[in-house]
Amino acid sequence: MAQQFVLKTMLDFAAAHTLSGYPGDCAKLHGHNWKIEVQIVGNKLNEIGMVVDFKEIKRHAKEVIKELDHTYLNDHPHFKETNPTAESIAAYLYQEIDKRIGSELVRMHSITVWENDRNCVIYSQD
């Protein structure tokens, strides 16, 4: 069986949103202190024994969350036609981070998006 390394780092950002069509309070303007867990997978170590430096993972993830931090998510171009649910935020973050870090050696494994301490979504692709 081939070896596989999954690296995880955590970041956070604050943002507000409304959920169109939601039958409850989340249809109203509200915000979250979102926490994200970015997981990268690779199977080869570099010359110093790393798959990829955690600093590199964070740099790419920070580039993506910077455009969401302290914003009204519904105004973001990606969420103009897509409800900014935790699920759609997770898919967006996964795809955008993977564009930046994905290579022959590493790729996104999964992303977990927490909207509070009790509720999260985990997104991955086969």
pTM: 0.95
Number of neighbours of residue 113 by Cβ within 10 angstroms: 24
Report d(CA 61, CA 57) in Å as an integer. Answer: 6
Looking at every residue in the chain, the average pLDDT score rounds to 96
Percent with pLDDT over 70 in the chain: 99
**Where in the chain are the domains?**
5-31+41-123
The CATH number of the structural domain formed by 5-31+41-123 is: 3.30.479.10
Length of the chain: 126
Tell me what pLDDT residue 102 has: 85
Q: What is the pLDDT of residues 1-59, one digit of tens each?
A: 689 999 999 999 999 999 999 999 999 999 999 999 999 999 999 999 999 999 999 99
Report d(CA 85, CA 19) in Å as an integer. Answer: 7
| Mean pLDDT, residues 71-82 taken together | 96
Q: What is the dihedral of CA 93, 71, 69, 77, to 10 degrees?
A: 30
Confidence of residue 104 (pLDDT cuts 50, 70, 90): confident
Report d(CA 66, CA 64) in Å as an integer. Answer: 5
- Class of residue 90 by CB neighbours under 10 A (exposed 0-12, middle 13-18, buried 19+): buried
Cross-strand partners of 111: 38, 123
Tell me what pLDDT residue 72 has: 98
| Mean pLDDT, residues 74-101 taken together | 97
Report d(CA 36, CA 60) in Å as an integer. Answer: 13
| Mean pLDDT, residues 73-80 taken together | 97
